[in-house]
Copies of this chain bind each other. A is one copy, B any other.
Amino acid sequence: MSQSAEDGTRVVRIGAEQRRREEALTQRVLDAFAGAESPRLRQLMTALVRHLHAFAREVRLTEAEWDAAIRFLTDTGHITTGKRQEFVLLSDVLGLSMQTITINNEARGDATEATVFGPFFVEDAPLIGNGDDMSFGAKGTPLWVEGRIRDTDGNPVGGARIDAWECDADGRYDVQYPDDRTACRARLFSDDGGNYRFWALMPVPYPIPGDGPVGRLLQAAGRSPMRAAHLHLMVSAPGHRALVTHVFDANDDYVARDSVFGVKESLVRTFEDFPPGTPAPDGRTLDRDWSKVRFDIVLAPPDDPPDPDAAVEIAAEPPA
């Protein structure tokens, strides 16, 4: 039974028999998954069922809304191809991708925080040396990127593999170009002191694909599809946890409302701008504006790989 409150809210009163029916149904579904052979599958499915049913009961999901959800998922499936992953986009805008990354990159000392991997990484990027240019002629303002890689004990990490990639000044990655050009991506290694440096381009904000169901959801929710300007970095070295992260530009308005929640305060840096003629850190003199960012990176110790069939138990808080 329902009544309307004065502010237009629908007030629902749930009787004892109705509550009993809803709870009994959830329990029957939980019981049905109790026979799964893998303890982990059992845990995943029962937790999913508990939350899904709690969601539907709490919001009093209508049949029209259920229909709309089925249509939304169907549209999301039908727009998804080998080249476009709308389910990943959905997970991104719900913050689930970022939450999964946060869960799997646990805080360890002052280790650099991880963020989303994104769909634009390419395995065989060109190898460059320190100080080289990864823009490969793409359009944009030159950006000098430098930093030092160390572990959580303060020891420099030499020979760390760094993959860097980003969009050009038009907000496009090379894989989105109509031709096969490689641009704005490279692999390099830190030197013996753990230092790295290369030329890139100033990153710019760009929208995630807005012409599908996820774009329509963002629009209905009054949310921007823009990703905050960022440079992707993936850093790996033997004996350390691999890091997938971004560095963000403090002067970009979108750092406060990145559409996929990839921004962590600890990853935001001030990019310094220089006029033409100012000598660059590598001694060159550019006849145009250029910028510079320093991004020091701290690698965490490695994690034990989890047993895929083991259920998880969260330990009680240690006594304070």
Contact = CB atoms under 8 A, between A and B. Distances in A.
Interface of A: 1-2, 4-5, 8-15, 17-18, 21-22, 25-26, 28-29, 32-33, 35-39, 41-45, 47-49, 51-66, 70, 73-74, 76-78, 80, 85, 87-88, 91, 94-104, 106-107, 113, 220-223, 257, 261, 264, 303-304, 306-315, 318
A262 to B, nearest CB: 10
A105 to B, nearest CB: 9
A311 B103 contact: no
B74 A307 contact: no
B314 A8 contact: no
Given A95-B25, A222-B35, A312-B9, A54 B53 contact: no
Contact of A14 (B10, B88, B314): B314
B94 A48 contact: yes
B13 A318 contact: yes
This protein's copies in its complex: 2
A28 B95 contact: yes
Given A12-B312, A312-B59, A32 B101 contact: no
Contacts of A49: 94-95
Report the 8 A-B pairs with minimum CB-CB distance, sorted nearest first: A77-B77, A29-B95, A35-B222, A51-B51, A17-B107, A13-B315, A36-B221, A18-B107
A89 to B, nearest CB: 10
A87 to B, nearest CB: 5
A140 to B, nearest CB: 29
Contacts of A53: 95-96, 99
B99 A56 contact: yes
A62 B306 contact: yes
Given A73-B77, A77-B76, A107-B15, A99 B44 contact: no
A95 to B, nearest CB: 3
A51 B61 CA distance: 14
Contacts of A60: 103, 312, 314
Nearest to A318: B13
B80 A45 contact: no
A310 B9 CA distance: 5
B94 A41 contact: no
A264 to B, nearest CB: 8
A74 to B, nearest CB: 5
Contact of A103 (B41, B57, B102, B257): B57
Nearest to A18: B107
A283 to B, nearest CB: 41
Which of A13, A41, A59 has the most C-beta atoms of chain B within 10 angstroms of its own C-beta?
A59
A70 B96 contact: no
A102 B56 CA distance: 10
A307 B4 contact: yes
A98 B312 CA distance: 29
